[in-house]
Amino acid sequence: MNAIIETRKRIHSIDVLRGLVMVIMALDHTRDFFHQTAMTADPLDLSSTSVALYFTRWITHFCAPVFVFLSGTSAYLLGQKLNKKQLSLFLIKRGAWLVIAEVLVMSFAFTFNPFYNIIFLQVFWAIGCSMILLGLLVRLHFTIVISIGLLIFFGLNVLDRLTIPPTGLPGVLLDVFVTGSASFYSISDNHTLVVLYKILPWTSVMILGYGVGYFYKDSVLPTKRRKNLLMLALSCILLFIVLRFTNVYGDPAPWTRQQNGFFTLLSFLNTTKYPPSLLFVSMTVGPALIFLVLLEGIQGSITSFFTVFGRVPFFYFVVHFYLIHILCVLAFYLSGYTNGQISDPKSPFWFRPSTFGYNLLTVYGIWLLVVLLMYPLCKRYGRYKHSHKQWWLSYL
């Protein structure tokens, strides 16, 4: 099966778009570790933020949904080379591996806490659980799979109007699978589990991406693919505009009139990510589909640059987090902090006190440094992965 995985045809536009959102993703993570108010203020709070800070955070909203969406598309493309049983088994095993990597590899990358006092369940957790569920679903007919994804996608915000059990197993299951922005579970006296990404909303995004993979079949003409993708994109954007304008359904946080028209627009765009609402996904996936159309057939130095990252997403995601945190450690000591300040009860990250940080311009400079340092690492690893056929490389 590994030979099939490694020789499947890559879609250039998908690699470029994935690489683009991964580069933007690094901006948000750099801001988390280096911006002076990252631990003390919400960059989307219109009463306290600046326009530059707002858009620095808002633009990164595209990263997670596009990343998960394209994971579903890649799963469909892989399914063109495997039978349903093989695809199901691969997705389940890879999903389980991502969940393990989230706990053991990424939680340490976030915190640098060797005692794992705080364990975060975030992107790998969401993708891993979604892959496991998709792996179970792919044995069904394609239409049934997509229907389930659409049902979840359109129906999740019904729960905004329902009373969720605050305690007990039903409340925990609803909280982990569907609702809640951030859930804290004490698993021992000194260890806390933080669930930031809820499973079913992200699973629906992956299933929708799986459905879009159909248009990349060899039997689909490029003109028809572009037409269908554009129609889907415009439908998502129109759905977002209409539902958001009515303030009736699709997001638990309605937009409100602000001190001027521009800030009212910012409120209009400020949809809910935790968990991702119908409008949040529509607002981000719609433009992403337009990018897929525009990027098709375009070759050049800029697209090649982003492709280097897009072809090694797991490697990039893990390594860039460790790189950012290592740079934070260096800045921590260069800023005059001492070993006694490594751990701050107001910050979950070691070497990142709540009072630490720089202005936004400096954050952008560090972000560019991170991207430039990651480029040769990803390029070299991409070449290694392309020229080697070990089974474990398909999981990285």
Q: Are 45 and 369 in contact (CB under 8 A)?
A: no
Q: Encoding tokens for residue 337?
A: 């902090």
- pLDDT score, position 162: 66
- pLDDT score, position 161: 67
Q: Are 159 and 129 in contact (CB under 8 A)?
A: no
- pLDDT score, position 163: 64
- pLDDT score, position 7: 37
- pLDDT score, position 153: 95
In this predicted model, what pLDDT tens digit does every residue of 150-196 receive, in sequence order? 999 999 888 776 666 667 777 888 888 887 778 899 999 999 999 99
Query: 119: helix, coil or strand?
Result: strand
- pLDDT score, position 169: 79
- pLDDT score, position 152: 95
- pLDDT score, position 168: 77
The parts of the chain modelled with pLDDT lower than 70 are 1-9, 161-166
- pLDDT score, position 391: 77
The DSSP H or E segment spanning 188 is strand 183-188
Q: Which of 13, 1, 39 is nearest to 354 (CA)?
A: 39
